[in-house]
Amino acid sequence: MPPPVREEENLLPKEPLDLPREPVEIPSYAEHGYESQSYPQTHAQVKTLLSWKAPGRPFKKRGRQYYLTTLLIMALVEVILFLFAQYLLMLVVLSLVFVSFALSSVPPHDFQYRISTEGITIEDHYYLWQELYDFYFRDRLGIKVLHLSTKAFLPGELTVTLGDLTEEQVKEAILPYLPYREVVRQSFMEKSAEWLSRNFPLEGK
């Protein structure tokens, strides 16, 4: 049986390993032939490519004939729907005509547009190039309109009026970031609206 250990012996180091070690000097990179390099942080600046003001949507001032013809067509459609007891559709037609009159009589206010190296700004809404898919141009009411497709389901597409800018100026600014869609197929609704406006114009040219 080992002899009991006294309390004083517990306070003394039992082996030399308990003694504090001497500090070890870590060799510098210069001794191994390495040189410390400092890499400056470069921050790319956002550069404005184009900036302009234009109406928020295409607008064409309508004459008296447009409103009279629209009211006559609406009255005829309302009578047909009333005979078939389609009261809900009657309200829908009335609402559509009201919205059409409002858009045709109230001119839109000007929006501030800006195209930069990071994206496009429409008033206080900012879209990065990574959020957009492609772009193309169309004529609406005789006005050139830029269409930008978004990758997200909403809003799906952005419409930008060019104002005093030309199509080539805008295309040159956007092409480094987005592909250009040269041919765009019209939907059934667009084809129908174009056929109606061509064969049954609401006002004279």
Write the DSSP string, 125-142.
EEEEGGGEEEEEEEEETT
Q: Is 160 a residue whose pLDDT tops 70?
A: yes
Q: At what angle do helices 87-105 and 64-83 cross, to 10 degrees?
A: 170
pTM (predicted TM-score): 0.67
Q: Does the residue 86 lie in any domain?
A: yes
Residue 85 domain boundaries: 48-182
Position with higher pLDDT, 22 vs 180: 180
Q: Please give the pLDDT value at position 99.
A: 92
- pLDDT tens digits for 91-145? 999 999 999 899 888 999 999 999 999 999 999 899 999 999 999 999 988 899 9
Q: How many domains does the chain have?
A: 1
| Per-residue confidence (pLDDT) for residue 184, from 0 to 100 | 84
- pLDDT given at position 41: 46
- Asked if residue 83 is part of any domain, the answer here is yes
Determine contact, residues 150/156, Cβ cutoff 8 Å: yes
**Is residue 18 in a domain?**
no
Residue 101 lies in a domain: yes
What's the mean per-residue pLDDT of the chain? 82
Contact by Cβ (8 Å): 174, 135: yes
Tokens representing 61?
A: 């001032």
The answer to whether position 54 is within a domain reads: yes
CATH code where residue 127 lies = 2.30.29
Closest residue by Cα to residue 52 from 136, 160, 175: 160
31-43 CB burial, b ≥16 within 10 A, e <16: eeeeeeeeeeeee
Q: Is residue 40 part of a domain?
A: no
State mean pLDDT over 42-61: 86
Tell me if 5 is assigned to some domain. no
Position 16 confidence tier, pLDDT thresholds 50, 70, 90: low
Quote the distance between the C-alpha of residue 176 and its chain's center.
17
Inter-CA distances, 112 with 56, 60, 96, 115, 162, Å: 9, 20, 29, 10, 11
Determine the Cα angle at 69 with ends 68 and 70, to 5°. Answer: 90
